[in-house]
Amino acid sequence: MIRIYELHNFIEENPDVIALSIEYRLGVFGFFHLSHLPDGKDYPDAQNLGLMDQMMALKWVHENIAAFGGDSDNVTIFGESAGARSVTLLPLIKSSHKYFRRVIAQSGAPSMARSAEEAILCTNELMDALGCKTVADLQKVDVRKFVNTAAPLFRLRVIPERDGKYLPLNPWKAYANGAAKDIEILQGCNKDEMNYFVVCFGVDGFTEWAEQRKAEKLA
């Protein structure tokens, strides 16, 4: 595994900081709506499992970081791109504030979440592509086929869901109403970040994705 954010240089330059990165479920494994399917009632939170993983990691840090010389009452969470999305959504989750005091978000915002309707549309598209009708059908699909079918179909569309349960239906309104008033937040943006996605998708692929977002009024 290539670890882009393994933090070695950061720690060399800031030896008084205890830093760690976490793993969490990505893409369709972490953010896939299932509860609307005939046998989906047993998976009511599948659409936000990735954020739940992050909360569990923060809980572990809170309970254990002192053993590594850290201060559980002085934790900063930070991320870039999808990571910035996460760290700006985490303050909106009930009981999260006891795990961190500060947020640094680089090129990401709480707007990077989708509605339940968008999530269900994505699920249905993949179900059709795989010829599945139920969760039980999905569980029979080879994991490589599952991922390889989902990746080009969704590109950047599989993200946390504004479900009104785990995340508020309107993150901006939640912020405006003081949901994170006790959290210190530093927001930034990387110049020309979208060039990365143009390289990954290709110019035609990126243009197609952008036009699709506009057509669906999701941009």
Lowest mean pLDDT among 71-85, 168-182, 205-219: 205-219
In a domain, 144, yes or no: yes
Query: DSSP class of residue 183?
Result: S
Instruction: Give the Cα separation of 117 and 33 in Å (integer).
Output: 10
Residue 64 · residue 18 · CB < 8 Å: no
> Domain span at residue 149?
8-188
In a domain, 203, yes or no: no
Residue 103 · residue 78 · CB < 8 Å: yes
Residue 219, pLDDT score: 42
Give the β-pairing of 184-188 and 102-106: parallel
In a domain, 12, yes or no: yes
- Kindly report the CATH number assigned to the domain that includes residue 123: 3.40.50.1820
pTM for the full model?
A: 0.87
pLDDT digits (tens, 9 = 90+) for 80-130: 989 999 999 999 999 999 999 999 999 989 989 999 999 999 999 999 999
In a domain, 195, yes or no: no
In a domain, 202, yes or no: no
**Pick from 58, 49, 53: which is nearest to 163 by CA?**
49
In a domain, 217, yes or no: no
The number of folded domains in the chain is: 1
